[in-house]
Structure 1
Amino acid sequence: MKISVSMYSVNRTVRQENWSAVDFIELANTINLDGVELLDIYWQDKEKEIEEVQNVLQKYNLVVSAYDVTNNFVKGSAEERADEVEKVIDGIKVAKQLGTNIVRVFCGDIHGELTYQDGQDWIVEGLKKSAEVAESEQVYLAIENHGLLAGKSEQVAEIIEKVNSPYVKSTFDTGNFLLVHQDPKEAFDRLKKEIVHVHFKDFRKKDPNEDVNGFRSTQGVELIGAVPGDGQVDLDYIVNGLKEIKYDGWLSIEYEGLEDPKIANKEAVNRLRELLK
């Protein structure tokens, strides 16, 4: 298994210091990584920056583990949903330019008067249309368990089954299941045959005395991002399970805590290296 860090892991630094993808890769080169995970939300001048990214990746002998598209298929109009499909298709093209065959995708969230069935039908439709291009380009669309609709493993599994494409699989986010009150171990056992990409993440419960805003779960519990191993996720179970199924893809750290992201990500990489021994 190979280790990368998502650019989202240093989101606070990116926003505060106006980092580009190149700045992030410069950091990645200092913390013993095999690759980096890039996101569509951070481009300022995409075409120019892609070329710069290609050059700096080559300079440091790094690769792109995955390219993340921030899409949402749960939109009220057909035109809006078509725009989201185009966003994913553009992500496939960018992924090819960056040399990765993984595009992380979202499904979407229920909101307003929409029902679960409305949302699921639109997601399946959007993924089927996107998968036509993904299949021709041999790029995986890896659904992250994220949000109210596809936050649980059974929802991800059902959507993958309904789309019925060999190129629509799972980005298994180890931490996000806690936000929908599902045991990550149970989720892993259900999805392990569908995993093509892993987000290595952990959360802890907010201390009652902490004066900070956490991530609120579906039951109103506040969770705080943690360096992997300091939270509630049994990461040993998941890593050992990945070894058992002979997973040879990427483990991409996604840190969302309160500590300095530069320090926290370096520690996360070191801990993951130990787990993989």
Structure 2
Amino acid sequence: MNISVSMYSLNSTIQKENWTVLDFIDYAKSISLDGVELLDFYWNDKEKELEEVVAAVKKHKLKVSAYDVSNNFVKESSEERDIEVEKVKDGIRVAKQLGTNIVRVFCGDLHGTLTYEDGQDWIVEGLRQCVEFAEKEQVYLAIENHGLLAGKSEQVEEIIDKVNSPYLKSTFDTGNFLLVHEEPQQAFDRLKDKIIHVHFKDFREKNPSEEVNGFRSTQGVEVIGAVPGDGQVNLAYIVQGLKDIDYQGWLSIEYEGFEDAKISNEEAVRRLRELLK
């Protein structure tokens, strides 16, 4: 297994210090990572920067673990959903340029009175169109259990089964299951054969005295991002489970807390290396 850090894991630093993708890659090299996970919304001038990023990754002997697309298929008009399909297809093209065969995708977001059941057909239809292109390019689309829509392991499994392609898999986010009140260990046991990419993340319940805005679960519980090991996720169980199935892919750290992002990510890397021994 290899260790990367998602660029989103440094988001507070990126905003505060006005980092570019190249700055993030330099940071990744400084903490001796195997790779980096890049996202579609951090480009300033994608066409110009892509060439520079490919060169920087090669220079630092890093790999791109995945390229993340922030799509949303839960749109009520077919025209809007078509735009989201094109967004994913463009992500596949960018991923190939970056040298990765994994594109992290979302299903969609809840809004208004829409439910998972309302949006499921749109999600499946959109992913079928995307995966047809992904198959030709030999790139895997990896659904993240993100937010409150398709956040449960049974929903991720159901969508993968309905699309029915060997090129649609799971980005298993260890922390996000807590937002839908599912034990990450049980989610892992359900999805372990479908995992192609892992977000190594942890959450803890918000202390009533804290004056910060965390993430609110489906039952209204507020949680705060934590350095892996300081929260509620049994990460040792998941890492051991990945060893048991001989998972050879990436573990990508995604820190979403309020402490110093550089220090927190460096500690997360240290702890993950310990678990992998």
Q: TM-score, normalised by structure 1?
A: 0.99
Q: Which residue of 2 aligns with 1:180?
A: 180
Q: Report the 3-state secondary structure (helix = DSSP H, G, I; strand = E; otherwise coil) of the residue aligned with 2:219.
A: coil
Structure 2: unaligned runs, 5 residues or longer: none
Cα deviation digits, residues 78-115 of structure 1 (max 9, x gap):
00000000000000000000000000000012322334
Q: Contact 2:116–2:150 at 8 Å: present in 1 too?
A: no
Q: In structure 2, how many angstroms separate the alpha carbons of the residues matched to 1:138 and 1:16?
A: 37
Q: 1:131-152 CA deviation, whole Å, 9 max, x = no partner?
A: 0110001100000001222100
Where do residues 66-81 of structure 1 align in structure 2 (5 Å cutoff)? 66-81=66-81
Q: Which moved more, 1:107-116 or 1:46-55?
A: 107-116
Partner of 1:97 in structure 2?
Answer: 97
The match for 2:226 is: 226
The RMSD of aligned alpha carbons is 0.7
Q: What letter is aligned with 1:13?
A: T
Partner of 1:214: 214
SS in 2 for 1:29: helix
1:59 CA drift (Å): 1.2
Q: Match of 2:135?
A: 135
User: C-alpha separation between the residues in 2 aligned to 1:10 and 1:207?
Assistant: 23
Report what 2:58 is aligned to. Answer: 58
Contact 2:104–2:144, Cα closer than 8 Å, also in 1? yes
Counterpart Cα distance in 1 of 2:50 and 2:103 = 16
Stretch of structure 1 that moved more, 107-116 or 47-56 = 107-116
Give the length in aligned residue pairs.
277
> Which letter maps to 2:73?
F
The offset of 1:117, in angstroms, is 2.5
Conserved? CA contact 1:109–1:119, under 8 Å = no
Distance 1:218 1:18 in 2: 33
Secondary structure, aligned partner of 1:208: coil
Return the alpha-carbon distance in structure 2 between the equivalents of residues 32 and 218 of structure 1.
Answer: 38
* Equivalent AA in structure 2 for residue 169 of structure 1: K
Is the contact between residue 2 and residue 251 of structure 1 (CA under 8 Å) also seen in structure 2? yes
8 Å contact from structure 1 (residues 92, 103) kept in 2? yes
- Give the Å deviation of 1:198: 0.1
The answer to whether the Cα contact below 8 Å between 1:74 and 1:109 also exists between their aligned partners in 2 is yes
Q: Percent identity, aligned pairs only?
A: 76
Pair 1:197-2:197 in alignment: yes
Residue 273 of structure 2: aligned partner: 273
Q: Which moved more, 1:143-152 or 1:170-179?
A: 143-152
- Alignment partner of 1:73: what SS? coil
Partner in structure 1 of residue 244 of structure 2: 244
Q: Which runs of 5+ in 1 are unaligned?
A: none
Per-residue deviation, 1:169 = 0.5
